[in-house]
């Protein structure tokens, strides 16, 4: 009777040992999953700092793709292909149009813009030459230089004088030319100031009456500031 009991006890002990091993393996797997789970779920975002990771915004965005490059100027029609729908262009007209007509645009339309610039200058010169020069100085009449150089050369002196003038704004030493200047179409709030070393005021004033004024920019000037005076034109030998 002793042998059956021992055999039964051995079976019970073996069964218990196997159960213990199975329980130990299962428990270990569950514990590892519990530890690894949050880390795997959190991923890089859990430790990302501002400026890092895909949610960092425009500078660090992974989905933004390559930055857009600056758009280049559209290709221009070669000079030898500049032909109007009817008739022909003169040599001067072709010189004006060179490198100015985008592909797909009618050259005659670009030429018309230049001719309109010449027409405006011609009209203003008849009204008041200083006003015409001032309009070029301020850029109110844009692209006057190429139009005058090729389409209305009679205004070359006007454009040359404008190149030595000053529009409203701040002009530094490298852009200053000592000499006398007269303002054009000043408003009632026209003020000016010329400063030298250390910001010392050399010349200043205003024209509350709206009348034109002549000032002298000395050689020691380092900055010239104009507000509400529209434009300053060179006078005498300075022009």
* Digit-coded pLDDT (tens) for 101-138: 898 888 999 999 999 999 999 999 999 999 999 999 99
**Which two three-digit tokens encode residue 117?**
């610039």
Question: Distance (Å, rounded) from C-alpha 169 to C-alpha 154?
Answer: 30
234 DSSP β-pair partners: 181
**Which two three-digit tokens encode residue 194?**
């010329």
* Digit-coded pLDDT (tens) for 176-228: 999 999 999 899 899 999 999 999 999 999 987 778 899 999 999 999 999 99
* Digit-coded pLDDT (tens) for 48-59: 333 333 333 333
- b/e 47-61 (16+ beta carbons within 10 angstroms → b): eeeeeebeeeeeeee
The larger pLDDT score, comparing residue 34 to residue 165, is at 165
Kindly provide the residue ranges of all beta strands, DSSP E only, lying in 25-163, ordered along the sequence: none
pTM score, whole prediction: 0.65
């Amino acid at each position: 009777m002793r042998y059956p009991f021992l055999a039964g006890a051995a079976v019970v002990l073996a069964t218990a040992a196997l159960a213990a091993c199975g329980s130990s393996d299962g428990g270990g797997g569950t514990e590892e999953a519990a530890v690894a789970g949050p880390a795997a779920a959190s991923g890089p975002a859990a430790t990302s700092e501002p400026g890092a990771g895909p949610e960092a915004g425009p500078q660090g965005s992974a989905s933004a793709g390559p930055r857009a490059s600056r758009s280049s100027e559209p290709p221009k029609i070669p000079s030898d292909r500049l032909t109007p729908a009817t008739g022909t262009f003169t040599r001067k007209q072709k010189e004006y149009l060179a490198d100015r007509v985008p592909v797909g645009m009618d050259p005659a339309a670009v030429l018309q813009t230049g001719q309109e610039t010449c027409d405006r200058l011609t009209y203003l010169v008849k009204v008041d030459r200083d006003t015409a020069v001032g309009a070029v100085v301020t850029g109110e009449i844009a692209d006057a230089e190429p139009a005058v150089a090729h389409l209305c050369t009679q205004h070359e002196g006007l454009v040359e004088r404008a190149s030595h003038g000053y529009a409203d704004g701040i002009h530094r030493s490298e852009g200053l030319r000592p000499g006398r200047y007269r303002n054009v179409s000043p408003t009632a709030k026209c003020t000016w100031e010329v400063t030298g070393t250390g910001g010392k005021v050399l010349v200043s004033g205003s024209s509350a009456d709206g009348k034109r004024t002549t000032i002298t920019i000395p050689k020691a000037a380092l900055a010239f500031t104009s507000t509400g005076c529209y434009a300053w034109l060179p006078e005498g030998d300075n022009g």
